[in-house]
């Protein structure tokens, strides 16, 4: 796989298009968190034509599909392992259309998401499932930005340092998975 690429987030379409499937990445900078419930709320606003009311600017942002556990005393965050990406497949194309540049999760993405990644110049990274405690060590700060009532599923801004990822789906229609599930 080669040496990991050091990448800062957020990043633009040109940067996303420079990434290729299978490349290891060490991501630093700021990323957002969101899972099912937050995705649903964001897409409801988009569907109602109220995109200007989104609680966060998604342009060139990275969303990590994670619902971190509460932190232990002295820690920034609890375990922060990736959620199954396919749970967000219904919502992802709409978020990519408004400028989202990348997502992070685990597992397959459906055909509509893969086509949207290519159309909008975005990528999907895979993080190591089952390694939430290890991945949490890469998170240096966590701030709730929106939907506090959702608890662990609130939208957060994380400051990450060298978060280890793999480009699982690139902006050119390629997948790291040798056998995609059938629709």
| DSSP letter for each residue of 70-103 | PPPTT-S-S--PPPBGGGGTTTHHHHHHTT--EE
Give the model confidence (pLDDT) of 47-67 as tens digits: 999 999 999 999 999 999 998
pLDDT of residue 69: 85
Give the model confidence (pLDDT) of 99-144 as tens digits: 999 999 999 999 999 999 999 999 999 998 878 888 999 999 999 9
**Fold adopted by 5-169:** fumarase (3.20.130)
Q: Helix (H, G, I), strand (E, B), or coil: what is residue 126? A: strand
CA 149, 83, 139, 168 dihedral sign is: negative
User: In this model, does residue 85 exceed pLDDT 70?
Assistant: yes
Kindly list the domain boundaries of the chain, sorted by start residue. 5-169
pTM of the model: 0.94
pLDDT of residue 180: 63
Q: How confident is the model at residue 181 (pLDDT cuts 50, 70, 90)?
A: low
Residues assigned a catalytic role: 39
Give the model confidence (pLDDT) of 101-112 as tens digits: 999 999 999 999
């Amino acid at each position: 796989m080669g040496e990991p690429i050091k990448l800062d987030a957020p990043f633009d379409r040109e940067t996303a298009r420079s990434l290729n499937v299978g490349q290891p990445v060490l991501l630093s900078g700021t990323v957002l968190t969101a899972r099912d419930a937050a995705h649903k709320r964001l897409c409801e606003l988009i569907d109602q034509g109220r995109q200007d009311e989104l609680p966060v600017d998604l342009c060139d942002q990275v969303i990590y599909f994670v619902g971190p556990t509460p932190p232990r005393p002295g820690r920034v965050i609890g375990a922060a392992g990736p959620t199954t990406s396919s749970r967000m497949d219904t919502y992802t194309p709409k978020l990519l259309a408004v400028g989202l540049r990348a997502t992070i999760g685990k597992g397959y993405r459906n055909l509509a998401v893969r086509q949207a990644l290519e159309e909008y110049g975005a990528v999907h990274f895979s993080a190591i499932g089952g390694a939430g405690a290890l991945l949490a060590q890469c998170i240096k700060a966590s701030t709730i930005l929106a939907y506090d009532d959702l608890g662990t599923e609130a939208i957060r801004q994380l400051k990450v340092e060298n978060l280890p990822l793999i480009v699982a789906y690139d902006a050119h229609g390629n997948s790291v998975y040798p056998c995609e599930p059938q629709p």
